[in-house]
Amino acid sequence: MDTSAILRGAGLRVTVQRIAVLQALALAPHSSADRIHTAVDGAGIALPTVHAILGDLATAGIIRRVSLPDADRALFEVEPGDNHHHMQCVRCGRLEVVACAVGASPCLHPAEDHGMRLLEASVTYRAVCRACDEAPAAA
């Protein structure tokens, strides 16, 4: 991934911090800001800076913010143009990508648009993964 070209293409200044955050996210999709901060810790990037960079990258359309039900923090991924959904285990939190059955975004259309132009439809399938389903019940 040519992170410098991606940043320039989005009109963002190329900085060591932005490159580090983008590369860390590419290596660990669906990461929280805390997890990315841990991954780039050697680069001396403060947590508030990681949050600011993630915000800049999301606003520029380079990354996507993923908000899941019952999650205490947002996750991020480097696939903003890929129309896919997520499946999350409600017990262990495991998260998997699910291809959209329809394909083109937005893949779902509401019965009423309330005068708004629809950009995307985000689906989260809530499930129980096989490992959790087969695990003995907690006492």
* Alpha carbon distance 109, 135 (integer Å): 38
Reported as type and span, the H/E element at residue 24 is helix 16-27
Q: How far apart are alpha carbons 40 and 30 in whole angstroms?
A: 16
107 annotated ligand binder: no
**According to the annotation, is 100 in a ligand binding site?**
no
Q: What is the DSSP letter of 136?
A: P
Number of CB atoms found within 10 A of residue 14's CB: 12
Tell me how far apart the alpha carbons of residues 74 and 69 are, in angstroms, rounded to a whole number: 10
92 is in an annotated binding site: yes
Write down the H helix ranges in 12-90: 16-27, 33-39, 47-59
Question: Binding site: residue ranges?
Answer: 89, 92, 129, 132
Question: Binding site for Zn(2+): residue ranges?
Answer: 89, 92, 129, 132
